[in-house]
Amino acid sequence: MIRRLLASIPLLFVVSFLVFVLSRAGGRDPVDAILGEKGTPEARERVTREYKLDRPILVQYGSYLEGILTRGDFGKSYIMQEQPVAEQIGRRFPPTVELATAAMLIAILIGIPAGLVSAVWRNTWIDYLVMGVSLLGISIPVFWLGLLLIFALGGWLPIGGNIDPSLIIDPHTGFMLIDAALSEEPGAFGDALRHLVLPAMTLATIPLAMTARITRASLLDVMGSDYIRTARAKGLSGLKVVTRHAFRNALIPVVTLLGLEFGYLLGGAVLTETVFSWPGMGTYVVDAVFQTDPMAICGASIVIATTFIAVNLLVDLLYAFVDPRIRYT
Partner 1 sequence: MIDKRKLKVLRKHKGAMFGLALLAALILFSATVGLVSPYQPGHMDAERLMEKPSKAHLLGTDDTGRDIYTRLGHGGRVSLLIGLAAVGLSMAIGVPLGALAGYLGGWMDMIVSRVLEVMLALPTILLAILIAVAIGKGMSALILAVGIVGIPQFARQVRGSVLALREQDFVQASRALGASPARTLFREVVPNALGPIIVLATLGVGSAILTAAGLSFLGLGVETGTPEWGAMLHEGRRAVERGRHLAVFAGLAITLAVLAINLFGDGLRDALDPKAEKKA
Among 109, 133, 138, 326, binds partner 1 (CB under 8 A): 138
Q: How far is the CB of 184 from partner 1 (least distance, A)?
A: 35
**Separation between Cα atoms, residue 261 and residue 255, nearest integer Å:** 10
**Separation between Cα atoms, residue 254 and residue 113, nearest integer Å:** 12
Each as own residue / partner, the long-range contacts of residues 164-168 (CB below 8 Å, 24 or more positions apart, any chain) are: 164/191, 164/195, 167/191
Q: Which is nearer to partner 1, 153 or 309 (CB)?
A: 309
From residue 151 to residue 170, the character string flagging contacts with partner 1 as x (rule: CB under 8 A) and all else as - is: x-------------------
Among 97, 157, 231, 289, binds partner 1 (CB under 8 A): 289
Q: How far is CA 312 from CA 5, 75, 104, 206, 322, in A?
A: 11, 27, 15, 18, 15
Count the residues of the shown chain that bind partner 1, applying the rule CB under 8 A: 41
Please answer whether residues 205 and 140 qualify as being in contact, where contact means their C-beta atoms are separated by less than 8 angstroms: yes
Q: Which is nearer to partner 1, 180 or 304 (CB)?
A: 304
Q: Which is nearer to partner 1, 255 or 305 (CB)?
A: 305
Confirm or reject binding of residue 297 to partner 1 (CB under 8 A).
yes
Among 31, 43, 110, 140, binds partner 1 (CB under 8 A): 140
- What proportions of the chain, in percent to the nearest 5, are helix, strand and coil? 75, 0, 25
Confirm or reject binding of residue 187 to partner 1 (CB under 8 A).
no
Please answer whether residues 90 and 187 qualify as being in contact, where contact means their C-beta atoms are separated by less than 8 angstroms: no
What is the separation, in whole angstroms, between the first and last Cα of the chain?
6
The window from 14-22, 38-46, 107-115, 181-189 that contacts partner 1 (CB under 8 A) reads 14-22
Binding site for partner 1 (CB under 8 A): 11-12, 14-15, 18-19, 21-23, 25-27, 135-136, 138-141, 143-144, 147-148, 151, 263-264, 267-268, 270-271, 274-275, 285-286, 289-290, 297, 301, 304-305, 308-309
